[in-house]
Structure 1
């Protein structure tokens, strides 16, 4: 499910189900940090489509679970941006209830664990010797990467529904009200602020910033993609991936909610109800666009891009011109994660805790395994031939794939 947020001065929770895809509409005040209790209501109820039923398949690949672990509460069934971070033989995970845990990537054993007693809504990110989390109360908290002890806290303007990133002495965080903060990694003091106006109605989430050398790229709810100087926040370029169109605020939504994908000197990005585009990192020039609506994000391998669209069709796309190479429609409306490539297969998680493997050559279903009884909303994180899966209920699994 994807939350939508209306930015006005009232807190009026609301949830709506659409024919494409199955969306939750959350109306709240701009930057509100209060708990929401959505109310269900329906549009075009007679035309709504159920998620595709899974049919029995013969697994052409073997998915091996190396280990499993858990973190207290997981995302607590709330739409927050909790994404594992994998680096240097460790897996960093956080839970909505405030736990931050570091696991050995080869065994799943805990290296350290701390209870921050915070409502964590984004992260963990890492860099500059820090583990970084964002909260619903508008804070960024830095923990020591070796011990988990708190180094500093920084106040930001609103809830953090993205993953904080750090490099070259700067922590970058994107808040739900459309601001991008540059924070001193050593002290937690603000170094710079980039502020974008936020549309009246937006998806309830934020694109996470991507740091490339001394530059940072981030997408916004307005459909704009920007590149800034990491050190001082100066704007290097800005482009509209998709211009809003339509008469209603709902029709004009063109959020960039998924993380921009950088491959070489090109950044690829998708918008909701808009387009997918390839942009030159050096110049900000749009190299190509194609009509495609997505909020889940993308994956890539050495020759193809992979994307889950807003109807949960999985596509392979030519990175050179945006042409579709294949499309799989058999997982329609199963609330898929962004696809990732692992050992010649394209992997996606779904709302029932299943992990699906598709052929990278033609998109046919090759395998399926159930990792958890709760949804997998976070894309698998692939590192050194292993995929790390984080389910909403807090289960974590490390898996590999091989031919039968």
Structure 2
């Protein structure tokens, strides 16, 4: 996904339940746009082929691909939601949310959920609408569908739970924070019997039955003299291995939290704005300049950096097999070595840039572009 860049406050946008919302990306308006790095020759060191291609409408919201087994669910800006067989690209079902989308897709494999720009939470199953519920504020984070419930992280920092079968609101909790939030997916996941949520620069563990707090662990603390400088919201995706959850705070830090103990293990300053991913040994992320970085998972020390993709708008990575997969704003997908960050292979799409972070579904790498191209790549 394209790296996040912040608008000046005088151009900042809508007021949302007391919070201003900054767009996830805006065109560069400085005196001289940095020149993207020229691509080096493709070494083609690992075999990857395009297995299939599907199409949806254009995408201008922060899409997250929902995966359950071999099924990948995607959505477009107009409200179409599609489930695909990740092995073949065959369409399993298609539905409409009835309005343009602001967030999606979340799914447990049976129920899919999205949020419209009309502030409606819409639940779907097998191509049919189950229910819809009005929200108090817009959300940019895909709903979490888990435990027969649907959880929503609102742009006003509310956390709400809904009955998965009926849509009945079960509880709502709100935490105060800085006055600005990002128009970007936040952190919302289930870890054992705890709902883990990003609120400002902190990871919080909540009781999913009633929303009460169990623990709170800081990744970054707001600093600065204005609201933009103090913005440290946690951004998705995160890297989870058992009880270790690692996340990025916008333009401030990366860090890992022990969810069993409810404490921060380490944090390191980092200037990126896109989510991270990782494995048991390391986590991987991109900086705002386009540098790709690996950190040791146990202590946060850097293991390698790759500066060959400067100013190419690289976004959230995916750790997959031998590779760290990153897409750029020119429609290329780069497969870097987990060991040292060197280029292993490069894949081309339609040139419109990434609309979602690369995602693994079964044995397939799924990539979605802003023009609505959905690509399935498989190892040869």
The normalised TM-score by structure 1 is: 0.86
Name the CA distance, whole Å, in 1 between partners of 2:139 and 2:245. 23
2:255 aligned with 1:277, yes or no? yes
Name the CA distance, whole Å, in 2 between partners of 1:128 and 1:5. 37
The CA deviation at 1:294 is 2.5
Aligned-residue Cα RMSD (Å) equals 2.4
Alignment map for 1:209-228 (pairs within 5 Å): 209-220=188-199, 222-228=200-206
2:92 aligned with 1:69, yes or no? no
Match of 1:29 in 2: 15
2:107 aligned with 1:105, yes or no? no
Q: Is the 8 A contact 1:5 1:204 kept in 2?
A: no
Match of 1:54 in 2: 39
SS of the residue corresponding to residue 82 of structure 1 reads: coil
Q: Is the 8 A contact 1:176 1:206 kept in 2?
A: no
2:241 to 256, 260, 263: 263
Match of 1:152 in 2: 131
Q: Render the CA deviation track for 1:152-185: whole Å, top value 9, x for unaligned.
A: 1111122221111111122111111211111111
Task: Give the 3 Å change call, closer, same or farther, for CA 363–92 of structure 1 in structure 2.
Answer: same
SS of the residue corresponding to residue 58 of structure 1 reads: coil
Task: Give the 3 Å change call, closer, same or farther, for CA 286–131 of structure 1 in structure 2.
Answer: same
Give the paired residue count: 375
The CA deviation at 1:378 is 1.2
Name the CA distance, whole Å, in 1 between partners of 2:90 and 2:300. 42
Match of 1:2 in 2: 4
2:264 to 286, 309, 316: 286
Q: Render the CA deviation track for 1:280-328: whole Å, top value 9, x for unaligned.
A: 1022211111111222111113422111122221111110100000000
Q: Is the 8 A contact 1:128 1:168 kept in 2?
A: no
Q: Render the CA deviation track for 1:332-377: whole Å, top value 9, x for unaligned.
A: 2222121112231111001011000111111111211112221113
The normalised TM-score by structure 2 is: 0.92
Match of 1:342 in 2: 320
The CA deviation at 1:112 is 1.5
Relative contact order: is structure 1 or structure 2 higher (C-alpha 8 Å, sep ≥ 6)?
A: 2
Name the CA distance, whole Å, in 2 between partners of 1:336 and 1:40. 15
Name the CA distance, whole Å, in 1 between partners of 2:63 and 2:51. 22
Alignment map for 1:293-308 (pairs within 5 Å): 293-308=271-286
Name the CA distance, whole Å, in 1 between partners of 2:140 and 2:26. 22
Task: Give the 3 Å change call, closer, same or farther, for CA 334–346 of structure 1 in structure 2.
Answer: same
The CA deviation at 1:132 is 0.7
Name the CA distance, whole Å, in 1 between partners of 2:65 and 2:289. 25
